[in-house]
Structure 1
Amino acid sequence: MNKCLLLFLLLPLCASALEPEPRQTWFTGTYTDLCYNKDGSDLLGMELMIIPSSAGYSVVVQIAEGGAPYTTVVPITIQGKTASFTLPFGGPYGGMRFEGKLSRTSLAIKWQSGEQETLKRGPSYWQ
């Protein structure tokens, strides 16, 4: 077989092997305890969605303490089973840092104030 023809046939296989695999690890997904509060007719809780990003990983953060949730996207650091992120300055939670312990079924997140919440892994409140 002609070497040029063989190279032509193998080139598409080599190119697809060089394409980066989408990064998805055991900790990516949605963790939530958002719920509707009938007494106040509003939302309470927190929802985090950890996703791969160009900078490593990012987290979509929603915090509801009545009314529409505060929402932002920030980088998240994952080291083993520990996750941490800081909210941007200028919002209602400006500069607040969160740390948590990840498992396959939940994320135990600690607010900077020391308060702790356990967010269950699963579908978003909005689904």
Structure 2
Amino acid sequence: MLKFIPALVIVAGILLFATGASAEQQEAEQREGKAKCTGTFSNMYYNEEGDDLLGEELKIVLGDDHGSDGDYPLIGMYQEAGGGPFDPILVDVRCDGHTVEFTLPKVDHYAEGRFRGTITSKGIHGKMTYPNGAEGDETDLPRRASYWDEFVSSPMPSTPAR
């Protein structure tokens, strides 16, 4: 019986180490799952013919967990353009690595509604649903650099008037 004690101690140590690593691994996987949700998603473009800026853009970043349980919130900066850029607004984003959703409050040019879509490595595909049950058009927001990032390396063209 005494011959087996060293083996039992080794097995117990491995189990304790594996359990600790498992908790750390779960936390890392949770962070990685949210990291897949972060990025810039944009179909915003400048239409020279109409001298209009058109489209939508959503940038999702990790927020501060405020010392809670390590569950970092996702914060989105959402902006639409319909002739000119509307002021961006901050939204709380929910994302599980497959679906993404956020709620727009009724402010300025934005109609209150809930956006729900599918997120992939290529972008977001979804639509807005409004409080009266009406649904907006389906939209694609490719994962790419922000429309505004284009001005970093080139002269900024005149921004269309609102």
Q: Deviations over 1:81-110 (max 9, x none)?
A: 111111122322242211110001110021
Count of aligned pairs between the two proteins: 106
Secondary structure, counterpart of 1:50 in structure 2: strand
- RMSD between superposed Cα atoms in Å: 1.8
Structure with greater helix percent: 2
Structure with greater strand percent: 1
Post-superposition offset of 1:69? 2.7
Residue equivalent to 2:93: 76
Q: Larger radius of gyration, structure 1 or 2?
A: 2
TM-score by length of 2: 0.60
Residue equivalent to 1:86: 103
Identical-residue share of aligned pairs (%): 34
Poorly superposed stretches of 4+, deviation over 3 Å: none
Contact conserved, 2:79 with 2:85, CA < 8 A, in 1? no
Distance change >3 Å, CA 54–CA 114, structure 1 → 2: same
Post-superposition offset of 1:54? 2.6
Gap regions ≥5 residues in structure 2: 1-27, 66-72, 130-134, 150-162
Counterpart Cα distance in 2 of 1:91 and 1:79: 30
Gap regions ≥5 residues in structure 1: 1-20
Residue equivalent to 1:125: 147
Contact conserved, 1:57 with 1:75, CA < 8 A, in 2? yes
